[in-house]
A and B are shown apart, each in its own frame.
Chain A
């Protein structure tokens, strides 16, 4: 009954999409940052042991790329709104 009353004033479908988007980013964004942090860690280890830093750099690039994509989507939604 509450949902029915609420739907008169608020499109519940849109509300659901907002919730799903917020939860999706809540999972993806920390994962992306942790990828970059893992990359920083590996790169530092590689420097210490004089090994190739490529794996670390690749992880940093992957994390930054995901974050950049999220920012891009955010800017797009801002302009589109």
Chain B
């Protein structure tokens, strides 16, 4: 396989890693920013540093992605490229809409879709998809939501006799620690997923032998890409998770982030690779319900859940279409170049549209009068 097509695919993987970073900044820092525990720019800066550091801690998840989701034998570099295109497009669409969907599921969906289009359904390890992606995706938000609900109730009960500003300050300081743990765990989990894809690409392209470890330059490149994406700040998703699901106070932010960090770290310890987005979203919902008088905006939650359900099939469809488009060219390098060019044009369009329609920045992320297309003014339905 030519080195040009391998280089293009690795570059596309790093673009995905960047979108993963800016899409998922909200996971660690949305509640921290919402409760003003840290200024927005400081929060995303801290998350970027911890994502970078987290990427070097472990490579277990990279191995899962490289070998546990699709059969390595039938996978070619153009197929991986097409899968990445599907994942990137879905990430950018959901970012534009301000919906916290799972980047991990977009990646798995995109690769599975392109593999089905390229080699058929036999190229997919369906038991791996069920045990490593689907079942954890269903269970994780409930586990984290329950823990956050209990933690929030306890937080308010145990501190009700103290002055509000003192307890608020205590929880704000603790929240910095809990959200930092989420950022570190996110770097460990999500940067590794891209490392796994890059390793898969290098193996498929003949640059690396099957079963090889993750080269240091791959670790560094993936860590840098996810950190850069995180630092750019996915303000649209931060706005939804931090202000639109529920009105978050510092005890709730602490409870949501602590429960999320615990769920992610305990799951990683037992070998499950969770979507940090779904875990944190479950935690925010649980924290919203745990405060007396707290209101969860179920219309926003409904949009999020729909996005979760649609993510894998939609990214898979985009991956499959990309694979068909690449394979329509007799020279795969030309096909990858053309599809890559179309992807860049689509991404540019979305970024321009985002600037024109409700441009959310670090300055206005907490303003109520700025809205994104996918998360309009919430309708409170229940407590």
Contact = CB atoms under 8 A, between A and B. Distances in A.
A25 B188 contact: no
A31 interface: yes
Contact of A25 (B171, B258, B269): B258
Interface in B247-306: 251, 254-255, 258-259, 261-263, 265-272
Contacts, number: 129
B148 A33 contact: no
A12 to B, nearest CB: 11
Given A22-B266, A23-B146, A26-B150, A15 B167 contact: no
A47 B261 CA distance: 36
Interface residues of B, number: 51
B162 interface: yes
Interface string B129-156: 0110001100100011011101100110
A41 to B, nearest CB: 5
Nearest to B153: A30
A80 B57 CA distance: 9
A14 B151 CA distance: 22
A80 B272 CA distance: 13
B177 A67 contact: yes
B131 A9 contact: yes
A65 interface: no
B147 A23 contact: yes
B174 A26 contact: no
B154 A31 contact: yes
Contacts of B174: 29, 33, 36, 67
A72 B258 CA distance: 13
Contacts of A34: 154-155, 158-159, 167, 170
6 contacts: A18-B267, A22-B262, A27-B151, A27-B154, A34-B159, A37-B171
Interface of B: 54, 57-58, 60, 127, 130-131, 135-136, 139, 143-144, 146-148, 150-151, 154-155, 158-159, 162-163, 166-167, 169-171, 174, 177-178, 181, 184-185, 188, 251, 254-255, 258-259, 261-263, 265-272
Interface of A: 6, 9-11, 14-15, 17-19, 21-23, 25-27, 29-31, 33-34, 36-38, 40-41, 44, 67, 71, 74-75, 77-81
